[in-house]
């Protein structure tokens, strides 16, 4: 057996590449060198032996990452036929020649479509009532020669003549904006780099507004104004956000009348507005920022409509005259309710559609400006519904999407006057899929403090709760982002092999409203992790599964969740998948040069405050690795990740390798071409899913 500890990283990598051709599982994993680095905060000393891994250009860092990839390939070599089978199985469920439901906007129908064998979509439009297709962008042709190709920010000028779109070829979410003449197909000379990708048009068809990132921290900090045909270097700075805890964006009201600049942090927002017919004008503050005051703005008729948490934890809806926008002029339209979270409002000329969450379920309420309100009814016990793409302000029809863990995504048009709904399309799942073959339900785990934690569960009919079935438990639990129970074609290989799939709606989400979020953040963050472990205990106790067949999965902040729960209760899980995990919490949040750090102090806390420092240190996965047994683990990351830097999981894996006392596999995949969101193509990401499932199946003896 080769002793990897005695080899340089580069030579070790060469040996691992050789061994991966035969799948030699006797090869020891890579061993990262240790260079002690002292970090002293509030008089407390930490020594980080793997701090050196943040040197992106260091050949030793790259060699170590490549060695990890080679080791993973070697360890998973025997499963490659199974991976290929799973890839084919999942891909065969997807309709390769497909088309989105067209949405109307300004005399055109816009849609995207895919063609067999191609990774990317075609973005198209037709004049309303015409059958003649106009291909605005063929991403397959544009992406040739690129490992990653992300397109965003598509926006057509009000006169329908110019398309503004943006491209990221690195997967770091830095977009360059381009302009295309839709009548000739020619690109204009204007190219704007280092943006967030979004473009908003003034109503003069030549003025556009965009957002510029800080080159180091990637914070969205500037709103710029550009006139087509002029030098980008001459663009006007419209607004600069000086507070490093805030980021900015720009949009236009659906009515088309106002341009809106938004500036926000986790707890506070502020908006400015300008008549879109006067894009050279000066933006006016809507309501000056006050810490803890959150609001957002849209327009209809003679009023601005304001969704706000002003004296309303679950938010309420107000309206304000166009010339008197400060909060003292706001008049209540929808009151605050303790049991209903007001998550969004879509305004139309004759009505508004209100997105709400009650008892953990999304619902849509229709409120005509003149007439009786009503809520659209749905029958399933566990589902999700959301307001879809509705670009036409003067319409009596609402587009919405419905889905559940057993019902593929279904797009409806709802006529508010007749209350009739028309199914426009349901996602077609190939391979003989029948929704009736599966069952979904809601169950509850009991947290240590007595709180009931909702679980969304799906399995194939015939499932028996006898403790013999495998299970995959999924969670996130941060930023108030709720993991709703929508259809996931990629979990079908699990269900068809007897797995139960479970989503844990832990605190830190907004499943039950704002309070559910606030009870899982800052100095209550520990609830997120203990809720997830309570869910695992419940699944074992109620014999959905057993500890030797229970797997857990989470990504990004959900990867933090994975790191925390295995430190606390490694005995609950057979295996864990942690995608792009945020695991070095304290060190990252102490470094304000790292992207996203300053904007997230109100989510995690600022460790420069001693109270938060010690609290964050108590759960930070990297800082709490111990000499004990851990479950089998597969960790993934992207070298160009702009959200969670690659070195966080790299350091975590290295420390786990050095300290853990078990012989369970610990595998690390680093995609050297991608970032936080993984592959850009529609099929490339399936390979990652196939790898994850093969990892799970191999641990419990499923061979096909």
Q: Is residue 124 part of a domain?
A: yes
In terms of C-beta density within 10 A (0-12 exposed, 13-18 middle, 19 or more buried), how is residue 653 classed? buried
Residue 1 has pLDDT above 80, yes or no: no
| Shared-domain flag, residues 354 and 248 | no
Average pLDDT in the chain: 92
Asked if 367 and 490 sit in the same domain, the reply is no
Give residue 678's pLDDT. 54
Q: Is residue 201 within 8 Å of residue 164, measured between CB atoms?
A: yes
Write the CATH number for 255: 2.130.10.120
| CATH number of the domain enclosing 582 | 3.40.50.1820
Pick from 553, 648, 639, 561: which is nearest to 597 by CA? Answer: 648
**Both 415 and 335 in a single domain?**
no
> In this predicted structure, what is the pLDDT of residue 89?
96
pLDDT in tens, 429-484: 999 999 999 999 999 999 999 999 999 999 999 999 999 999 999 999 999 999 99
Q: Specify if 24 maps to a domain.
A: no
Rg (CA), the chain: 26
User: How many independent structural domains does the chain possess?
Assistant: 3
Confidence of residue 7 (pLDDT cuts 50, 70, 90): very low
Give me the mean pLDDT over the 71-94 stretch: 96
Residue pair 401/385 in contact (Cβ under 8 Å)? The answer is yes
321 is a domain residue:
yes
Q: Which of 301, 316, 341 is the last residue of a domain?
A: 341
- Cα 471 from Cα 494, distance rounded (Å): 9
**Is 26 contained in some domain?**
no
Q: Is the dihedral of CA 198, 200, 205, 206 positive or negative?
A: negative
pLDDT, tens digit, 9 for 90 and up, residues 22-32: 456 667 899 99
Closest CA to 58 of 9, 3, 14: 9
H helices present in 433-525, as ranges? 492-495, 514-518
CA 337 – CA 350 distance, rounded (Å):
25
User: Are 322 and 348 members of one domain?
Assistant: no
More confident residue, 99 or 4: 99
Mean pLDDT computed over 268-289: 98
Question: What integer is the mean pLDDT of 521-529?
Answer: 98
pLDDT of residue 13: 39
For residues 294 and 310, what is the distance between their CA atoms, to the nearest angstrom?
7
CB 19 within 8 A of CB 74: yes
- Is it the case that residue 635 has pLDDT exceeding 80? yes
Starting at the edge strand found earlier in the chain, the sheet holding 207-213 runs 150-156, 162-168, 175-181, 187-201, 207-213, 220-227, 236-240
Q: Are 296 and 402 part of one and the same domain?
A: no
Same domain, 240 and 357: no
Q: Give 571's pLDDT tier (boundaries 50, 70, 90).
A: very high
pLDDT digits (tens, 9 = 90+) for 673-697: 765 555 556 678 899 999 999 999 9
Q: Which of 673, 677, 675 is nearest to 145 (CA)?
A: 673
Which residue from 665, 657, 667, 670 is spatially nearest to 700, judged by alpha carbons?
Answer: 665
Band (pLDDT 50/70/90 cuts) for residue 598 is: confident
pLDDT at position 16: 39
Classified as helix, coil or strand, 36 is coil
Q: Does residue 88 surpass a pLDDT of 80?
A: yes
**Residues 156 and 269 occupy one common structural domain:** yes
The pLDDT value recorded for residue 8 is 43
Domain-embedded: residue 617: yes
- Quick one: pLDDT at residue 300? 96
176 and 200 share one domain: yes
Taking the model in full, what pTM does it have? 0.91
Write out the DSSP string of 421-444.
Answer: EEEEEE--BTTT--GGGEEEEEEE
Q: Tell the burial category of 29 from Cβ atoms under 10 Å away from its Cβ (0-12, 13-18, 19+).
A: buried
Identify the band that residue 9 occupies on the pLDDT scale cut at 50, 70 and 90.
very low
> 526-541 and 610-619 are packed helices; what angle lies between their axes, rounded to 10 degrees?
20
Active-site positions?
556, 641, 676
d(CA 53, CA 47): 14
Considering the domain boundaries, does residue 483 fall inside one?
yes
- Residue-wise pLDDT tens digits, 93-144: 999 889 999 999 999 999 999 998 888 889 999 999 999 999 999 999 999 9
Pick the more confident residue, 679 or 239: 239
What's the confidence (pLDDT) of residue 22?
45
Same domain flag for 467 and 603 = yes
The reported pLDDT for the residue numbered 674 is: 64
pLDDT tens-digit readout, 52-67 = 999 988 999 999 999 9
Give backbone dihedrals phi and psi of 426, rounded to 5 degrees, phi first. -120, 135
Percent of the chain, pLDDT > 70?
95
Binned at pLDDT 50, 70 and 90, residue 172 comes out as: confident
Given a cut of 50, whether residue 21 has pLDDT beyond it is no
What are the pLDDT digits (tens) for 332-375? 999 999 999 999 999 999 999 999 999 999 999 999 999 899 99
Distance CA 541, CA 572 (A): 11
> Residue 644: which pLDDT band, with cuts at 50, 70 and 90?
confident
Is the domain of 373 the same as that of 477?
no
pLDDT at 177 over 70: yes
For residue 265, being part of any structural domain is answered with yes
pLDDT at 378 over 50: yes
The verdict on 457 and 410 lying in the same domain is no
Phi (first) and psi of residue 372, to 5 degrees: -85, 135
Is the domain of 421 the same as that of 402? yes
Burial of 428 (0-12, 13-18, 19+ CB in 10 A): exposed
Beta-carbon contacts of residue 88 (< 8 Å; ≥ 6 apart): none
Identify the pLDDT of residue 358: 95
Q: Which residue among 293, 321, 341 closes a domain?
A: 341
Residue 1 lies in a domain: no
Beta bridge partners of 400: 387, 412
> What residue numbers bound the domain in which 445 lies?
60-91+432-700
**Which residues, in sequence order, are CB contacts of 378 under 8 Å at separation 6+?**
363, 385, 402
Residue 248 has pLDDT above 70, yes or no: yes
- Looking at 394, 427, 460, the residue that finishes a domain is 427
Rounded to an integer, the average pLDDT of 532-550 is: 98
């Amino acid at each position: 057996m080769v002793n990897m500890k005695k080899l340089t990283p580069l030579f070790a990598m060469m040996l691992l590449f050789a061994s991966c051709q035969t799948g030699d599982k006797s090869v020891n994993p890579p061993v990262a060198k240790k260079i002690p680095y002292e970090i002293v905060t509030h008089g407390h000393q930490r020594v980080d032996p793997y701090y050196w891994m943040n040197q992106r250009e260091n050949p030793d860092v790259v060699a170590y990452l490549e060695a990890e990839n080679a080791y993973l390939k070697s360890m998973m070599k025997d499963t490659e036929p199974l991976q290929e089978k799973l890839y084919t199985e999942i891909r065969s469920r997807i309709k390769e020649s497909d088309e989105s439901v067209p949405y109307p906007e300004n005399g055109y129908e816009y849609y995207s479509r895919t063609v067999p064998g191609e990774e990317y979509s075609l973005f198209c439009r037709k004049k309303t009532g015409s059958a003649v297709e106009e291909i605005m962008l063929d991403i397959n042709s544009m992406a040739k020669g690129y490992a990653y190709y992300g397109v965003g920010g598509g926006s057509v000028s009000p006169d329908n003549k110019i398309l503004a779109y943006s491209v990221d070829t690195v997967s770091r979410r830095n977009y360059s904006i381009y302009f295309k003449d839709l009548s000739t197909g020619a690109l204009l000379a204007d190219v704007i780099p280092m943006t967030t990708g979004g473009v908003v048009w003034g109503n003069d068809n030549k003025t556009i507004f965009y957002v510029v990132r800080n080159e180091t921290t990637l914070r969205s900090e500037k709103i710029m104004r550009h006139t087509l045909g002029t030098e980008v270097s001459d663009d006007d700075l419209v607004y600069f956000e000086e507070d490093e805890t805030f980021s900015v964006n720009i949009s236009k009201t659906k009515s088309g009348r106002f341009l809106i600049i938004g500036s926000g942090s986790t707890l506070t927002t502020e908006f400015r507005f300008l008549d879109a017919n006067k894009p050279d004008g000066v933006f006016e503050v809507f309501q000056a920022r006050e810490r803890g005051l959150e609001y957002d703005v849209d327009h209809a008729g003679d009023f601005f409509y304001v969704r706000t948490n002003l004296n309303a934890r679950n938010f309420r809806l107000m309206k304000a005259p166009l010339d008197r926008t400060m909060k003292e002029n706001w008049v209540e339209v929808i009151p605050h309710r303790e049991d209903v979270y007001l998550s969004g409002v879509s305004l139309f000329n004759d009505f508004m559609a209100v997105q709400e969450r009650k008892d953990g379920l999304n619902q849509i309420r229709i409120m005509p400006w003149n007439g009786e309100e009503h809520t659209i009814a749905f029958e399933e016990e566990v589902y999700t519904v959301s307001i879809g793409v509705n670009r036409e302000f003067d319409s009596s029809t609402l587009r919405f999407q419905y889905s559940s863990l057993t019902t593929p995504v279904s797009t409806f048009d709802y006529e508010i006057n007749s209350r009739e709904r028309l199914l426009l399309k349901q996602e077609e799942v190939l391979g003989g899929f029948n929704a009736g073959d599966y069952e979904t339900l809601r169950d509850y785990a009991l947290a240590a403090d007595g709180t009931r934690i909702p679980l969304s569960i799906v399995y194939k009919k015939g499932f028996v709760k006898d403790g013999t079935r495998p299970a995959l438990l999924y969670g996130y639990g941060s930023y108030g982002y709720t993991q709703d129970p929508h259809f996931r074609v990629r979990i079908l290989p699990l269900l068809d092999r007897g797995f139960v799939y479970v989503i844990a709606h832990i605190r830190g989400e907004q499943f039950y409203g704002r309070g559910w979020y606030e009870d899982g953040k800052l100095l209550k963050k520990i609830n997120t992790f203990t809720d997830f472990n309570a869910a695992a205990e419940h699944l074992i106790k109620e014999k959905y599964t057993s500890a030797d067949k229970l797997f857990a999965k989470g990504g990004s902040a959900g990867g933090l969740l994975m790191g925390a729960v295995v430190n606390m209760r490694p005995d609950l899980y057979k295996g864990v998948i942690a995608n792009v995990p945020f695991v070095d919490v304290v060190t990252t949040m102490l470094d304000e040069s790292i992207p996203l750090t300053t904007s997230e102090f109100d989510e995690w806390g600022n460790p420069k405050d001693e109270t938060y420092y010690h609290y964050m240190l108590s759960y930070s996965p990297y800082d709490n690795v111990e000499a004990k047994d851990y479950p089998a683990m597969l960790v993934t990351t992207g070298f160009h990740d702009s959200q969670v830097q690659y070195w966080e999981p790299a350091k975590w894996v290295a420390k786990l390798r050095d300290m853990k006392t078990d012989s369970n596999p610990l595998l690390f995949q680093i995609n050297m071409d991608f970032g936080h969101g993984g592959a850009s193509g529609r099929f490339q990401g399936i390979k990652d899913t196939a790898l994850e499932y093969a990892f799970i199946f191999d641990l419990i003896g499923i061979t096909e």
